[in-house]
């Protein structure tokens, strides 16, 4: 094919083209800056457009994330295979320990049932679960959130607790028609009322984008040790009480705050259960916008 060579006319028109280009760029920069400023004033404003884009991308991400997850798991499996011998020994030990714990749990469960019967205790309403698959692990450098392939049409509601096999993972922050965004407990904006240890001290689990969220607002005199269990307290009505979250870990030397190692493993997030307890809590007013459609 013939290649057009820049002629005299074209060369002469270059400065004009450049200045037109410059103003296009400047225009788009201004537009983006405007969008950011409006978003800063009202963070909920773009929620619908945001989730519309996510809904559009869901089928694609859903399809492509299967092989990616499989590939990732394959490599993890290879690593595990390498460490299988040591792992087996550790697992056998853990299994023995857990069997003892099971016996304890069973006896406690029956004792609990007997005591509840004596007290006419009214149990919590059973939770409704919706299971979804993680299709997007976004957030990257600034946020800790994941996208799942279930949304409004599947009955997902904003504020629902997201749990993985082992414990609380986060909460539903945005709901689209067929996708939702889950804010992980480690995210900067995550604040969860929790109870710590056997003394059931109240605290707030505050994410700071690190893998181990902080325990904030602990009472001055505390009797908390590394290894203590952290569960949701149910205060504020955003979460059901008693969901396991993680364990307290020893703080780094230069830190005053205690940190929590969550139970969920961010490395192997694949399926997520969203619990709907019929609690609306702090997210009620925002929820209406989407649920009322």
Partner 1 sequence: MKRSAWQGLDTAARTLTPGLVLVVLVFMGQLPYSLSGHNSITPYFVLMGVFYWGLHRPDLLPAVVVFLVGLMQDALEGEPFGVNAFVLIAVYWLVSSQQRHFKGRPFLVVWLGFAAAALIADLLRWLLVSFVLGTALAPWSIMLEYVLTVTFYPVLTVAFALAHKTLPRGGASDFID
Instruction: Assess 7 for contact with partner 1 (CB under 8 A).
Output: no
Instruction: Assess 2 for contact with partner 1 (CB under 8 A).
Output: yes
Instruction: Assess 31 for contact with partner 1 (CB under 8 A).
Output: yes
Choose between 17 and 202: whose C-beta lies nearer to partner 1.
Answer: 17
By the 10 Å C-beta count (0-12 exposed, 13-18 middle, 19+ buried), 141 is classed as exposed
Distance CA 172, CA 157 (A): 7
Instruction: Assess 261 for contact with partner 1 (CB under 8 A).
Output: no
By the 10 Å C-beta count (0-12 exposed, 13-18 middle, 19+ buried), 127 is classed as middle
Report the chain's C-alpha Rg in angstroms.
25
Distance CA 191, CA 235 (A): 12
Three-class secondary structure of residue 97 per DSSP: helix
Distance CA 128, CA 274 (A): 8
Q: In the complex, what is the shortest distance from the CB of residue 80 to partner 1, in angstroms, rounded to a whole number?
A: 12
Distance CA 124, CA 218 (A): 27
Distance CA 148, CA 164 (A): 13
Q: Where does this chain touch partner 1 (CB under 8 A) — which range of 71-79, 252-260, 275-283, 284-292?
A: 71-79
User: Which residues from 114-143 bind partner 1, rule CB under 8 A?
Assistant: 134-143
Binding mask 76-115 for partner 1 (x = CB under 8 A): x---------------------------------------
Instruction: Assess 269 for contact with partner 1 (CB under 8 A).
Output: yes
Instruction: Assess 9 for contact with partner 1 (CB under 8 A).
Output: no
Instruction: Assess 222 for contact with partner 1 (CB under 8 A).
Output: no
Binding site for partner 1 (CB under 8 A): 1-6, 21-22, 24-25, 28-29, 31-36, 39-40, 43, 46, 49-54, 57, 60-61, 64-65, 68-69, 72-73, 75-76, 134-147, 174, 181, 188, 208-211, 266-270
């Amino acid at each position: 094919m013939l290649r057009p060579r820049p002629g005299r006319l074209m060369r002469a028109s270059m400065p004009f083209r450049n200045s037109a280009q410059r103003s296009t760029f400047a225009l788009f920069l201004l537009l983006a800056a405007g969008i950011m400023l409006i978003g800063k004033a009202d963070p909920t404003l773009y929620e619908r457009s945001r989730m519309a884009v996510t809904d559009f991308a869901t089928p694609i991400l859903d399809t492509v994330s299967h092989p990616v997850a499989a590939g990732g798991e394959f490599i993890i499996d290879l690593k595990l295979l390498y460490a299988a011998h040591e792992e087996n020994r550790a697992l056998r030990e853990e299994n023995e320990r857990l069997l003892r714990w099971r016996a304890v749990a069973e006896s406690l469960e029956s004792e609990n049932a007997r005591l509840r019967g004596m007290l006419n205790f009214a149990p919590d309403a059973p939770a409704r679960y919706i299971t979804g698959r993680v299709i997007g692990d976004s957030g990257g450098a600034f946020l800790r959130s994941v996208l799942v392939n279930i949304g409004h049409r599947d009955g997902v509601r904003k504020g629902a607790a997201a749990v993985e096999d082992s414990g609380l993972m986060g909460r539903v922050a945005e709901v689209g028609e067929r996708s939702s965004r889950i804010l992980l407990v480690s995210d900067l904006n995550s604040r969860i009322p929790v109870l710590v240890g056997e003394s059931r001290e109240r605290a707030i689990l505050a994410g700071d984008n690190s893998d181990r969220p902080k325990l904030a607002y602990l009472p001055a005199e505390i009797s908390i040790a590394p290894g203590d269990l952290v569960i949701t307290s149910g205060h504020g009505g955003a979460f059901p009480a008693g969901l396991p979250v993680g364990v307290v870990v020893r703080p780094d030397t230069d830190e005053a705050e205690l940190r929590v190692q969550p139970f969920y493993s961010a490395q192997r997030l694949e399926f997520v259960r969203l619990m709907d307890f019929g609690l609306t809590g702090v997210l009620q007013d925002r929820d209406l916008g989407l649920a009322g459609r």
